[in-house]
Amino acid sequence: MTTYFISDLHLCEQQPHITRSFINFCQQQARDARALYILGDLFEYWLGDDALDSTAQTVQKQLKALSDSGVDVAFMAGNRDFLVGPDYAEQCGMSLLSEPTTIDLYGQTVLLVHGDAQCIDDQAYQAARKQLRNYQWQQQFLAQSIEQRVAFAEQARMKSQEHTSQSDMGIMDVNQGAIQTLFNDHQVDTMIHGHTHRPAIHQHGDKQRIVLGDWHHQSSYFEVTENHSQLVSG
């Protein structure tokens, strides 16, 4: 059986074609899978488990169908959907993963992260990330009305786009020292992450780092069986 890894779909009402691609993936590739790991940014943004739009409801139905059919579905928060909580996870039939986490993948220990915490050269982003991941800030945000949360999310998205357009692309990739620290701290030979939208398989000496692709123009996933693995885009 096959295990799949995906990230950075950025699903939202404004991009229905990506949602359709995700539905096709769930009903075709992932239908008979052993497990599906979602490594963050499944959604463009997440306003709270009490603020589900039609896209979130569609995703819930697809993931619950996979879970009910016997596929182990697991989710790790990204920088856009870090507020996905236990209520929505339960509705989807998926488990929530802490970051970083290690899994047994056909006898091999593999480290999973979203990837944004390792982009340490982008200091402005890391400062914003620290605030957004603060528990007190999150509780204050979730206490606001849905309309207020929507307004904040739209403003934050505009600021993010502006920051990206004005920044050196190099600082938005992972820092190699931070990656090596993860390898050393967790004593693993394989790491899988997303976030950077730069799908590739990198060799770090005798260690391997798989970077998942985004879904803006095509579906992208990493598939692994007991005897085979490949990074797929298309």
Q: Where are the domains of the chain?
A: 3-233
What is the reported pLDDT for 62? 98
C-alpha distances out from residue 206 to 84, 171, 180, 203, 217, Å: 35, 25, 12, 7, 32
Which class is 3-233 in CATH? alpha beta
Which of the residue ranges 8-17, 120-129, 136-145, 158-167 would you say has the lowest mean pLDDT?
A: 158-167
The DSSP-derived string for 36-105 is EEE-S-SBS----TT---HHHHHHHHHHHHHHHTT-EEEEE--SSSTT--HHHHHHHTEEEEPSSEEEEE
Judged against a pLDDT cut of 70, whether residue 6 lies above it is answered with yes
| DSSP-derived 3-state class of residue 232 | strand
pLDDT digits (tens, 9 = 90+) for 81-122: 999 999 999 999 999 999 999 999 999 999 999 999 999 999
Question: What's the pTM?
Answer: 0.95
Put the strands of the sheet holding 94-97 in their side by side order.
94-97, 72-76, 35-38, 3-6, 220-224, 229-233
Q: Are 46 and 59 in contact (CB under 8 A)?
A: no
